[in-house]
């Protein structure tokens, strides 16, 4: 089972400060990490490899900081990594990024499963999984909290399959899908392991490939500023306002809070 | 010149922090209150991350980043100091690392094979037993004797204020590297450094009631005709004094790391608190009496932290480039760290307590644990505050400043 895990480095969200006056986030100079969903996707890929064999390739688009960030993926258990760090890739919106990722996946060629976080920890738009599935013409399921590789392969066609459980909030949906396929996962999937020192030290010895636009056959028209289809209008922290009202008695306090929230229009009557 | 951590070091640091935030910090109060040692699962978890194997070559079950052991150990112990501010866990760990490193460097093959894989796995404690009832700072005056007979040293004497007595004998298993006098007439050239497994026949122990770092025991060890096989000797017979000094250099770097970690966390606790605590209509942080104090402490701590990183690098470099500097020169640098870090850390913890007010005097708040724990390293433990000054004066001023010559 060959698995490609698409990973996005995001700034350490816990370290973001908000400018009190303008509500703008201060993100310059913050360290990069992988988001929880990505880590779960990678963890699952490594577990599947440990059980069924195969190869795990980590694939990421982002700033040159990825040269460092990607080492975590290699330390956790990816066999190889591909990073796309040229500036043209970073100026893309979700559509452009999906195009880059899809082209890189096509270049990798041999894969059974594409795993990725259902949404990124920073922008949380959830666009990438369906977009790359569409570009690659593959089946796709999102909000996945369980993955099981089915070993009773269809003898006639030798098709590999997975059974996944998708979180529908009020219900769980079980889906069987033929591979290759794209699966977007949530953090309910597993608890990602931490990389021990021995694996961290060995990570640098694993293959780390840097691919540019020519490597994946992408042109400037398809990428970056020229290909934007999404316009960001505003990116500000929500307005916070403290009323500073204290209630001593819990019973009475709850009723008062509900009444106050109704008056504010936060709760409907 | 390179000051930043490598990507691997950053990653290792984050792995330990993530582990500690989830598994250590939430239990730090319980550990101090129970006075029942460090939970096995925490030691096991850290061993799985490779923390106890930092100084141990792969051949003996470790994962040493060769030539960068002290740099990595410094990072790890700082993180543990942040997470467990009473310093029991960081000190337990640094003793295994500092003295384990010395075993890896100077132990016999048999000793290394016997002990190191178990240290790396977190099953076995290695500490140091130098101090005696007559004192610890004047090491040349150590009385515990070792008489060679039939491939063994027969050891008699008493050691006091030894960390990890219960850990080595009851809670887990382990032993202490001990300085013994093997040539009584030869002054400091008559000592041998020998590892003594704590369960050997003839060893008895007592446990003291400390005022801090309650999850790590301190006690005394008495040796009555203890037969220690000669393969437990580190380095050469009668050359133990120098090895002890070398080991102190390693351990003192890591003690300083524990103190820096604790102090850094204390300042962050204070920083977060003064931003949200409103007094007279404005956050505490708006009062310069508070914010300037925090700024001062932050500045001082950053200096120590950087100098400590430099010293850890120097300790690694000595082994990579023999003759780079002498152990004595290193000891001057190490003493600068060990002189400043515990005292500054104690002062920071205390000042932070004044920022948090009465809450900091409860056990709910970790600052009090930090203050109680770090005082151990101001008053003694791997060489007290004044002994560090003596070393710095000796190396900087010269023999004119040495009271024992």
For the segment B290-300, what is each residue's pLDDT rounded down to a tens digit?
999 999 999 99
What percentage of chain B reaches a pLDDT higher than 70? 100
Rounded Cα–Cα distance for residues A199 and B63 (Å): 9
**Domain range summary for chain A, segments of one domain joined by +:** 2-227, 239-269
Chain A residues within 8 A of B54 when measuring between CB atoms: 197
Are B230 and B368 part of one and the same domain?
A: no
| B87 in a structural domain | yes
The SS3 assignment for A138 reads coil
A203 in reach of chain B (CB within 8 A): yes
Cis bond leading into B176, ω under 30°?
no
Between B297 and A120, whose confidence is greater? B297
Alpha-carbon separation of residue B284 from A43, A156, B131, B281, B300 (angstroms): 44, 73, 45, 9, 21
Q: Does B12 touch chain A (CB under 8 A)?
A: yes
Quick: pLDDT tens for B126-176.
999 999 987 777 777 888 999 999 999 999 999 999 999 999 999 999 999
Where residue B280 falls (left for φ over 0; alpha for ψ -120 to 50; beta otherwise) is left
Residues sharing a CB contact under 8 Å with residue A9, sequence separation 6 or more, in sequence order: A32, A33, A34, A60, A62, A63, A65, A66, A69, A70
State which H helix or E strand residue B388 sits in: helix B385-396
Please report whether residue B1 resides in a domain. Answer: no
Helix then strand then coil, % of chain B, to nearest 5: 60, 15, 25
One domain, residues B199 and B253: no
Which of B11, B18, B19 is opposite residue A200, by nearest beta carbon? B11
A197 vs B63: CB contact, 8 Å cut-off?
Answer: yes
Last residue of a domain, one of B111, B126, B141: B126
Residue with tokens 């370290």: A15
Under 8 Å between Cβ of B191 and B157: no
Q: Given this model, what pLDDT does residue A157 score?
A: 56
Residues B277 and B354 both lie in one domain = yes
Using an 8 Å Cβ cutoff, are B326 and B341 in contact? no
Residues B152 and B181 in one domain: yes
* Strand ranges for B295-376 from DSSP E: none
Taking residue A155's Cβ as centre, other Cβ atoms within 10 Å add up to: 7
Across the range B65-92, mean pLDDT stands at 97
**Mean pLDDT on B91-114:** 96
Going from the C-alpha of B275 to that of each of A242, B79, B269, B279, the distances in angstroms are 15, 24, 10, 11
Q: Do B7 and A71 touch (CB under 8 A)?
A: yes
B8 vs A: CB within 8 A:
yes
Answer left, alpha or beta for residue A54, where phi above 0 means left and psi between -120 and 50 means alpha. Answer: left
- Is the domain of B258 the same as that of B225? no
Q: Do B50 and A197 touch (CB under 8 A)?
A: yes
Residue A243 has pLDDT above 80, yes or no: no
Q: Which residue of A has its CA nearest to B53?
A: A197
**Same domain (yes/no): B249, B196:** no
Distance CA B8, CA A236 (A): 34
CATH number at residue B136: 2.40.110.10
Count of CB atoms within 10 A of residue B317's CB? 17
pLDDT single digits (tens) A180-229: 999 999 999 999 999 999 999 999 999 999 999 999 998 878 887 778 88
pLDDT at A154 over 60: no
Q: Assess whether B173 and B223 both reside in one domain.
A: yes
Tell me, what DSSP letter sits at residue B132? B
Q: How many domains does chain B have?
A: 3
Report whether A152 contacts A84 (CB < 8 A): no
Give the DSSP H or E segment for A233: none
Q: Are residues B191 and B249 in the same domain?
A: no
Contact between chains at B8 and A203 (C-beta distance less than 8 A): yes
Q: Are A69 and A59 in contact (CB under 8 A)?
A: no
Give the three-class secondary structure for B233: strand
Mean pLDDT value across residues A36-44? 95
Query: Across the interface, do B53 and A198 touch by the CB < 8 Å criterion?
Result: yes
- Tell me which of A84-88, A219-223, B180-184, B277-281 is least confident: A219-223
Residues of chain B with Cβ-Cβ distance to A198 below 8 Å are 50, 53, 58, 63
A228 and chain B: CB distance < 8 Å anywhere?
A: no
Q: Any CB–CB contact under 8 A between B23 and chain A?
A: no
Identify the bridge partners of residue A120 per DSSP, sorted by sequence position: none
CA–CA gap between residue A74 and residue A208 (Å, rounded) = 9
Q: Tell me what the pLDDT averaged over chain A comes to.
A: 89
Nearest by CB to A71, which of B11, B54, B72? Answer: B11
- B224 CB within 8 Å of a chain A CB: no
Which pair of structure tokens corresponds to residue A124?
């949380």
- Any B CB within 8 A of A206 CB: no
What is the residue whose two structure tokens read 């899908």?
A177
A197 touches chain B (CB under 8 A): yes
* Distance (Å) of CA B258 to CA A198, B25, B121, B289, B334: 23, 15, 21, 28, 14
Range of the domain at B276: 240-401
Asked if A78 is an interface residue toward chain B (Cβ–Cβ < 8 A), one would say no
Residues B267 and B387 in one domain: yes
**Residue of B7, B8, B50 lying closest to A196 (CB–CB):** B50
Average pLDDT over residues B344-373: 96
A contact test, residue of B6, B15, B53 with most A CBs within 10 A: B15
> Are B320 and B254 contained in the same domain?
yes
Note whether residue B2 is domain-resident: no
**ipTM computed for the complex:** 0.91
Question: Which residues of chain A have a CB within 8 Å of the CB of B7?
Answer: 67-68, 71
Quick check: A197 and B12 CB within 8 A? yes
Q: Does B58 touch chain A (CB under 8 A)?
A: yes
- CB of B11 within 8 Å of a chain A CB? The answer is yes
CB contact (8 A) between residue B8 and residue A196: no
**Could you tell me the sign of the dihedral formed by the alpha carbons of B164, B165, B166, B171, in that order?**
positive
**What pLDDT was estimated at residue B221?**
95
CB B283 within 8 A of CB B275: yes
Helix (H) or strand (E) holding A266: none
Nearest CA among A136, A134, A160 for reference residue A148? A160
SS3 at position B3: coil
CA A17 to chain centre: 23
Out of 2.60.40.10, 3.30.230.10, 2.170.150.20, 3.40.50.620, the CATH code matching A2-227 is 3.40.50.620
Q: Is the separation of the CB atoms in B235 and B243 below 8 Å?
A: yes
Burial class of A70 by CB neighbour count within 10 A (0 to 12, 13 to 18, 19+) = buried
Residue B318 is assigned to a structural domain of this protein = yes
For B55, the closest chain A residue by CA position comes to: A197
End-to-end CA distance of chain B: 39
Q: How many CA atoms lie within 13 A of B179 on its CB side?
A: 31
Q: Residue B59 above 80 pLDDT?
A: yes
pTM of structure: 0.91
Nearest CA in chain A to B61: A198
Q: Which of A195, A197, A203 sits opposite B53 (nearest CB)?
A: A197
Q: Write the CA distances from B391 to A211, B161, B253, integer angstroms.
A: 55, 22, 15
Question: Do A68 and B49 count as a contact with CB atoms less than 8 A apart?
Answer: no
């Amino acid at each position: 089972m060959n698995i490609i895990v698409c990973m996005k480095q995001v700034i350490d969200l816990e370290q973001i400060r908000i400018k009190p006056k303008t509500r703008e986030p201060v993100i310059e100079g913050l360290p990069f990490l992988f988001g929880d969903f990505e880590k779960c996707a990678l963890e699952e890929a490594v577990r599947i490899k440990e059980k069924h064999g195969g190869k795990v390739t980590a694939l990421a688009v982002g700033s040159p900081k990825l040269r460092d960030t990607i080492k975590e993926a290699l330390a956790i258990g990816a066999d190889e990594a591909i990073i796309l760090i040229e500036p043209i890739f970073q100026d893309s919106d979700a559509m452009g990024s999906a195009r880059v990722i899809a082209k890189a996946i096509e270049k990798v060629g041999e894969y059974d499963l594409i795993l990725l976080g259902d949404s990124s920890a920073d922008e949380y738009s959830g666009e990438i999984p369906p977009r790359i599935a569409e570009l690659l013409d593959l089946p796709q399921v999102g909000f996945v909290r369980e993955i099981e590789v089915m070993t009773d392969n269809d003898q006639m066609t030798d098709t590999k399959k997975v059974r996944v459980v998708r979180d529908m909030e009020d219900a769980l949906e079980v889906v069987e899908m033929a591979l290759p396929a794209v699966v977007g996962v949530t953090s309910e999937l597993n608890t990602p392991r931490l990389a021990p020192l021995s694996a961290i030290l060995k990570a640098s010895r694993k293959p780390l490939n840097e691919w540019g636009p020519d490597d994946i056959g992408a042109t400037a028209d398809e990428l970056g500023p020229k290909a934007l289809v999404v316009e960001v209008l505003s990116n500000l922290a929500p307005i916070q306002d403290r009323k500073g009202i204290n209630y001593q008695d819990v019973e009475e306090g709850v009723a008062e809070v509900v009444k106050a929230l109704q008056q504010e229009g936060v709760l409907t009557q | 010149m390179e000051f930043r951590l490598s990507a691997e070091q950053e990653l290792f640091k984050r792995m330990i922090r993530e582990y500690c935030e989830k598994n250590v910090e939430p239990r730090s109060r319980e550990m101090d209150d129970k006075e029942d040692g460090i939970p096995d699962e925490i030691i096991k978890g850290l061993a799985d991350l490779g923390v106890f194997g930092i100084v141990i070559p792969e051949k003996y079950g470790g994962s040493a980043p060769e030539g960068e052991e002290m740099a990595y150990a410094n990072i790890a112990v700082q993180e543990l100091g942040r997470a467990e501010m009473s310093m029991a866990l960081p000190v337990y760990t640094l003793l295994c690392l500092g003295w384990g490193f010395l075993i890896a460097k100077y132990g016999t093959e048999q000793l290394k094979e016997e002990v190191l894989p178990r240290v790396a796995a977190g099953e076995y404690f290695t500490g140091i037993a130098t101090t005696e009832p007559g004192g610890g700072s004047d090491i040349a005056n150590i009385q515990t004797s070792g008489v060679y007979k039939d491939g063994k040293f027969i050891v008699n004497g008493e050691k006091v204020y030894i960390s990890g007595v219960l850990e080595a004998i009851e809670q887990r298993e382990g032993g202490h590297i001990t300085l013994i006098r093997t040539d009584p007439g030869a002054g400091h050239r008559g000592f041998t450094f020998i590892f003594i497994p704590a369960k050997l026949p003839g060893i008895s122990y007592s446990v003291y009631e400390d005022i801090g770092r309650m999850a790590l025991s301190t006690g005394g060890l008495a040796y009555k005709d203890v037969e220690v096989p000669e393969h437990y000797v580190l380095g050469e017979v009668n050359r133990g004094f120098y090895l002890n000094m070398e080991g102190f250099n390693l351990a003192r770097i890591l003690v300083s790391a524990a103190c820096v970690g604790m102090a850094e966390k204390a300042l962050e606790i204070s920083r977060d608190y003064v931003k949200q605590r409103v007094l007279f209509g404005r956050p505490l942080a708006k009062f310069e009496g508070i914010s300037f104090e925090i700024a001062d402490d932050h500045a001082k701590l950053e200096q120590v932290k950087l100098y400590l990183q430099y010293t850890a690098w120097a300790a690694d470099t000595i082994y990579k480039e023999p003759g780079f500097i002498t152990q004595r020169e290193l000891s001057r640098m190490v003493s600068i760290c060990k002189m400043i870090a515990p005292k500054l850390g104690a002062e920071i913890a205390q000042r932070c307590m004044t920022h948090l007010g009465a809450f900091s005097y409860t056990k709910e708040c970790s600052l009090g644990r930090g203050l109680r724990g770090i005082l151990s390293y101001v008053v003694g433990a791997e060489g007290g505050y004044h002994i560090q000054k003596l070393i710095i004066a000796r190396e900087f001023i010269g023999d004119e400043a040495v009271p024992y010559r």
